[in-house]
Amino acid sequence: MINFKVVDLEITEINQGESKLSFINNIIVTTVQLMPKSVVGFFSKKYIAGDTIDKAVQCVKDLNEKGIFATMDVLGESITQKDEAIEAKNKCLEVLDTIVKNKLNANLSLKPTQMGLNIDEEFAYNQIKELVEKAKGINNFVRIDMEDSPFTDKTINLFKRLKNDFNNVGLVLQAYLKRTTSDVITLNKLGTNYRLCKGIYIEPATIAYKDKQGIRENYLKSLELMFKNGNYVGIATHDEYLINEAYKMIKEMNISKDKFEFQMLLGVREDLRDRINGDGYKIRIYVPFGKDWYPYSIRRLKENPQIAGHIFKNIFSFEK
């Protein structure tokens, strides 16, 4: 039998100290993955615009009204069949058309494995090229998300090939990867439009920093390198420390406002989002939508033990 009082107590502890996080977090994280989909769906609502493109359009319009930009993402990843990857690409084409039709201040983000990167690299390249070409025709932009480390080199190669022919394409780099600063040095030579995030996948300590401060340091080191070469950077984080340090760096390095934007995920730290917007900096929100919401939701819930804790309690309360 589960002791609910104990669960409650430990969840409170999670919020009090980083040192106590990992053990209980691991339990919660493992348990979240065993939850019924309906419960995960209930708690994920704040992170997802909805299951249809119309709901996503409404969400983007609401953000745009506040002066906030968006990047739209059709949920889906790790596709193993070409016809599914083509269907995903067609949905992305529809997003680009919808942006124009509704005059949205938005661009497109996509996951390479959703376009077929783990089926066939050439096929995925052609799929993404079609999207970048389409976006170019409507004066829009495509951001290639970064997935887990088996895809890092393939994604960078894909991006480099696209960059030969297009300027309206950008790449994501992850500060938790030890290789990132050297990737920045290489990619700076191409004049890359970056999104810099911490990284969300579980990676081994041989290739990734695992501690909060190590990741923060690599984030700031990478950001400085990106800025030094005059690249455009999407500073994607909800970490107030990093946002404050980025503010300082922007002032000290005298970076002009057309060289960066802040980026956040839908439903996360809206207080910070509004502060950045109020400070007169450009901010873009990642707006995911679609029927394949499950893996994305699990990742978001893993990041937020408080919500995961609610789920945990809810599930076991069914037994009462």
Ligand X SMILES: Cc1cc2nc3c(=O)[nH]c(=O)nc-3n(C[C@H](O)[C@H](O)[C@H](O)COP(=O)(O)OP(=O)(O)OC[C@H]3O[C@@H](n4cnc5c(N)ncnc54)[C@H](O)[C@@H]3O)c2cc1C
- The residues carrying an active-site annotation are 145, 195
For 73, list phi and psi in degrees, rounded to 5.
-130, 120
Nearest partner of 268 among 310, 299, 291, judged by Cα: 299
Of 82 and 148, CB closest to ligand X? 148
CB of 97 to ligand X, least distance (A): 23
Is there a contact between 224 and 216 (Cβ–Cβ < 8 Å)? no
Is the CB of 82 or the CB of 272 nearer to ligand X? 272
Tell me, rounded to whole angstroms, the distance of Cα 153 from its chain centroid.
18
Nearest approach in angstroms of CB 300 to ligand X is: 4
- CA dist., res. 314 & res. 304, Å (int): 16
CB of 302 to ligand X, least distance (A): 8
Interacting residues with ligand X (CB under 6 A)? 145-146, 172, 174, 195, 197-201, 236-239, 263-265, 268-269, 286, 300, 303-304
Least separation in angstroms between CB 146 and ligand X: 4
**Closest CB to ligand X among 21 and 82?**
21
Could you say which DSSP state residue 71 is in? Answer: E
Can you tell me the distance from the alpha carbon of 286 to that of 242, in angstroms, rounded to the nearest whole number? 18
The residue type found at 162 is L
230, 208 in Cβ contact below 8 A? no
DSSP-derived pairing of the beta strands 283-289 and 142-144:
unpaired
For tokens 């956040």, the residue is 264
Q: What is the distance of C-alpha 111 from the center of its chain?
A: 10
Helix and strand tally (H, E) in the chain? Answer: 13, 8
Q: Are 31 and 10 in contact (CB under 8 A)?
A: no
Q: Can you tell me the distance from the alpha carbon of 73 to that of 66, in angstroms, rounded to the nearest whole number?
A: 20
Which is nearer to ligand X, 82 or 298 (by Cβ)? 298
Query: Which is closer to ligand X, CB of 177 or CB of 225?
Result: 177
Which of residues 163 and 195 has its CB atom nearest to ligand X in the complex?
A: 195
The residues facing 193 across adjacent strands are: 232
Residue 319 CB, nearest distance to ligand X (Å)? Answer: 27
Residue with structure tokens 């809206």?
270
Question: Which token pair is 204?
Answer: 């081994």
CB of 63 to ligand X, least distance (A): 13
Q: Which two tokens stand for residue 303?
A: 């990041």
Q: Which is nearer to ligand X, 5 or 13 (CB)?
A: 13
Q: At what angle do helices 305-317 and 294-303 cross, to 10 degrees?
A: 110
Shortest Å distance, C-beta 28 to ligand X = 13
